[in-house]
Structure 1
Amino acid sequence: MKPAVMIGTEDRIMNRWAHFAKKYSFLPLIGGGSTKIQPVYVVDVASAIVAALKDDGSSMGNVYELGGPEIYTVHELAELMYETVREWPRYVNVPLPVAKAIAMPREVLLKKVPFPLPNPDIFNLDQIHAFATDTVVSENALTFMDLGIVPHKLKGYPVEYLIQYRKGGPQFGSTVSEKVNPDSYP
């Protein structure tokens, strides 16, 4: 299984962005936010693993590229985060070479000092390299559909956990789960 960027309660992308945006009131977009990614809900990845374990062995030895149903640019994903936390989006476009220059002193120190250094939320070299290239599912790859799973769209419940970053607290405003009509269930 090769999952794309996973989104969920303890993810390492939307949570970091929301925390950074609340703390510093802006979000740096590395490379202008034009990199394409295909984020996937972590519950869908877990379902795919269970489906592969339960099948008749046909999935053994195969590589499944697990991406969500929609392709976003980093900028569009940041817009979704800002929309969920109900903040005005404020960005600082950081060119890729500048982002690498900001992260490089830490990387050099990692090799020199005998103790671990804190990992920054945004400007770490691994994340900068990840945002340097598009990460989308290949056209002829095995996907969720080959396992009989329909992945969730990202808007709505999969990103509802971000309401904890709302000004005024999570109870401020309505959430997706409050908009569901309980009478529609049998």
Structure 2
Amino acid sequence: MTTALNGKLVTVFGGSGFVGRHVVQALARRGYRIRAAVRRPDLAEHLQPLGAVGQIMPVQANLRYRWSVDRAVEGADAVVNLVGILYESGKQSFDSVQAFGSRAIAEAARAAGLGAVTHVSAIGADPRSPSAYARSKAAGEAAVLETLPDSVILRPSIIFGPEDDFFNRFAAMARLSPVLPLVGGGETRFQPVYVGDVAAAVAKAVDGEARAGTVYELGGPEVKSFKECLELMLKITRRQRLLIPLPFGVAELQARILQMLPRPLLTVDQVRLLKSDNVVSAEAERDGRTLTGLGIAPSTLAAILPTYLERFRQHGQYDAHRAA
């Protein structure tokens, strides 16, 4: 239920995406007015029912055009940047979106008189990474902190939830294919974090409950290998599939072909990213730069995955009423 409006306006860049809709809802429940800055406002109308009448308003903004970013930030009391891409397409390159775009948002916020932004990055952001995605994430973080040093950076591990691009993708593959690939042997470790918990962390940062100038690492309560994630997905969807190890070299060769598709199933850059574990660091745990440090109890995979993966069972949600 939406609370009474508090009079403050938050501009959320990337508000119509998977993470965005949960962030918008979390902020709306706290009484903020929300300006969802997106490239296609006509595709963001699904956000408006998440709040009271007139509380959520989509506006057009493209990070490659600074004037549109300035216009989206004008008059805002806080700014959140959720914009990110998993693969490059046309003018949407990692550098233009995740590095240049992040700097544009921070500079626009500074010009509007704000002292900080809340910036969502990713665990694995590293200027020395072999992955262009990870390098651009690191460049975006650096640009934000250089422009507004009091900003809060949130680095989630792989995010799961109803519209995620990981569990849903492999569950869909398991419907049709008798085998599933384990890139790199399936040994890469993840710390999957629920999208609702990431949204809560963003809302706490906007509320001023996060430490200024701090990089938080957001992970769930469990660390699981790539193989263990797929095994759990298969258990929930009640399907038996063969898991085939795919060496990184072979995966890269296949990715060179698959990345030519309009919506790539796998890219070379993603294969390179999978060569490193994606978990919360010991330093972040020690310093309290985690979900728990923000006062958020992370949700488990077992509690959330069945709520949206049951549709991939042989008889959909009706399988829930059949003997296991």
Could you tell me the TM-score, scaled by structure 2's length?
0.48
Question: Does the CA-based 8 Å contact 1:85-1:166 persist in structure 2?
Answer: yes
Q: Deviations over 1:108-145 (max 9, x none)?
A: xx6xxxxxx42233x32233223221111011211012
Question: Does the CA-based 8 Å contact 1:30-1:96 persist in structure 2?
Answer: yes
Work out which of the residue numbers 23, 39, 44 in structure 1 matches 2:197: 44
Q: Deviations over 1:156-186 (max 9, x none)?
A: 22442011110012211259xxxxxxxxxxx
Q: Does 1:118 align with 2:262?
A: yes
Give 1:13 deviation, angstroms.
0.6
- Higher alpha-carbon Rg: 2
Question: Does the CA-based 8 Å contact 2:160-2:167 persist in structure 1?
Answer: yes
Structure 2 unaligned regions, length at least 5:
1-153
Question: Does the CA-based 8 Å contact 1:84-1:160 persist in structure 2?
Answer: no
Which aligned pairs between 1:28-67 and structure 2 lie closer than 5 A? 28-55=181-208, 58-67=210-219
**Structure 1 stretch displaced more, 97-106 or 43-52:** 97-106
SS in 1 for 2:182: strand
Q: Does 1:163 align with 2:318?
A: no
Higher relative contact order (CA 8 A, sep 6+): 1
SS in 1 for 2:302: coil
Which aligned pairs between 1:44-123 and structure 2 lie closer than 5 A? 44-55=197-208, 58-105=210-257, 117-121=261-265, 123=266
Counterpart code for 1:39: P
Q: 1:178 matched to which residue of 2?
A: none
Give 1:29 deviation, angstroms.
0.6
Question: Does the CA-based 8 Å contact 2:188-2:226 persist in structure 1?
Answer: yes
Q: Does 1:130 align with 2:273?
A: yes
For residues 144 and 30 of structure 1, the distance between their equivalents in structure 2, rounded to whole angstroms, comes to 29
Question: Does the CA-based 8 Å contact 1:41-1:158 persist in structure 2?
Answer: no
For residues 307 and 267 of structure 2, the distance between their equivalents in structure 1, rounded to whole angstroms, comes to 26
For residues 257 and 237 of structure 2, the distance between their equivalents in structure 1, rounded to whole angstroms, comes to 33
SS in 1 for 2:215: coil
SS in 2 for 1:27: strand
For residues 307 and 269 of structure 2, the distance between their equivalents in structure 1, rounded to whole angstroms, comes to 27
Distance of aligned partners of 1:146 and 1:82 in 2 relative to their CA distance in 1, 3 Å threshold: same
For residues 232 and 212 of structure 2, the distance between their equivalents in structure 1, rounded to whole angstroms, comes to 36
Q: Share of identical aligned residues, percent?
A: 38
Work out which of the residue numbers 170, 175, 180 in structure 2 matches 1:22: 175
Distance of aligned partners of 1:106 and 1:19 in 2 relative to their CA distance in 1, 3 Å threshold: closer
SS in 1 for 2:283: coil
Q: Does 1:144 align with 2:291?
A: yes
Distance of aligned partners of 1:128 and 1:25 in 2 relative to their CA distance in 1, 3 Å threshold: same
